[in-house]
């Protein structure tokens, strides 16, 4: 079976980042204090959902060998508090980019950029924690080790219905 050149995954539901481990302490029978690190259950379950999505989409696919490129889109539902402003910006951007004689002008490009920034998802989870959750979840199944990811990008954005919140993951072996 020939391996695909591009691997695509979608994990529905609000995207999550990898949470910091919790530290626990206990005393041994000998009286020595020992510290333990535990990954929060919510993170373990989310990473399991990502792993399961890979297993369902690519059963019997051996881990990719060599360098890998990873693109992740974290798609979030519009929050009620900012939905009106963000919707207005999204529609204005669409209108400005549909063409017309001034579509490529610098002033239009500047307006589009400022509207995109005003509509950006700048709250938690942090983009790097989203990427870490994906990398750790696919470790050993999509690739041997996440050190193989040599090029990666995580984008966070708001979406509107009928789009579904979740993670869109694109994995490409680097030739």
In this predicted model, what pLDDT tens digit does every residue of 37-53 receive, in sequence order?
999 999 999 999 999 99
pLDDT in the model for residue 73: 96
In this predicted model, what pLDDT tens digit does every residue of 123-159 receive, in sequence order?
899 999 999 999 999 999 999 999 999 999 999 988 8
Q: Which residue has the higher pLDDT, 80 or 174?
A: 174
Q: How far is residue 173's CA from residue 175's CA, in Å, rounded to a whole number?
A: 6
The domain ranges of the chain are 7-79+126-173
Q: How far is residue 134's CA from residue 69's CA, in Å, rounded to a whole number?
A: 13
85, 73, 68: which is closest to 138 by C-alpha?
A: 68
Q: Which residue has the higher pLDDT, 2 or 152?
A: 152
Radius of gyration of the chain (CA): 21
* DSSP state, residue 17: P
Instruction: Give yes or no for residue 20 having a pLDDT over 80.
Output: yes
Reported as a pLDDT band with limits 50, 70 and 90, residue 80 is: confident
In this predicted model, what pLDDT tens digit does every residue of 85-114 receive, in sequence order?
777 777 777 777 676 555 566 766 666 666
CATH 3.30.1330.70 is the classification of domain 7-79+126-173: yes
SS3 167: strand
pLDDT in the model for residue 54: 98
In this predicted model, what pLDDT tens digit does every residue of 48-67 receive, in sequence order?
999 999 999 999 999 999 99
Beta-bridge mates of residue 88: none
What are the phi and psi torsion angles at 31 (to 5°)? 95, 0
Question: Taking the mean position of all CA atoms in its chain, how far away is CA 65?
Answer: 22
Q: How many CB atoms lie within 10 A of CB 154?
A: 22
Does residue 125 have a cis peptide bond before it, meaning omega lies within 30 degrees of 0?
yes
What are the phi and psi torsion angles at 22 (to 5°)? -95, 150
Which of 12-21, 76-85, 120-129, 152-161 has the least mean pLDDT? 76-85
Instruction: Give yes or no for residue 12 having a pLDDT over 80.
Output: yes
Average pLDDT of the residues in 1-25: 90
């Amino acid at each position: 079976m020939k391996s695909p050149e591009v691997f695509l995954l979608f994990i529905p539901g609000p995207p999550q980042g990898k949470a910091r481990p919790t530290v626990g302490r206990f005393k041994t029978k000998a009286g020595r204090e020992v510290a333990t690190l535990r990954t929060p259950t919510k993170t373990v379950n989310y990473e399991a959902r990502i792993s399961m999505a890979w297993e369902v989409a690519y059963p019997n696919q051996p881990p990719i060998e060599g360098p890998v490129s990873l693109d992740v889109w974290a798609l979030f539902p519009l929050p009620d508090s900012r939905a009106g402003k963000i919707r207005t910006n999204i529609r204005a951007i669409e209108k400005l980019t549909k063409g017309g004689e001034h579509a490529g002008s610098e002033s239009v490009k500047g307006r589009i950029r400022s509207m995109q920034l005003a509509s950006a998802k700048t709250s938690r989870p942090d983009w790097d924690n989203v990427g870490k959750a994906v990398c750790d979840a696919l470790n050993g199944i999509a690739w041997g080790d996440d050190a193989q990811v040599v090029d990666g990008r995580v984008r966070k954005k708001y979406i509107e219905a009928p789009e579904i919140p979740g993670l869109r993951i694109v994995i490409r072996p680097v030739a």
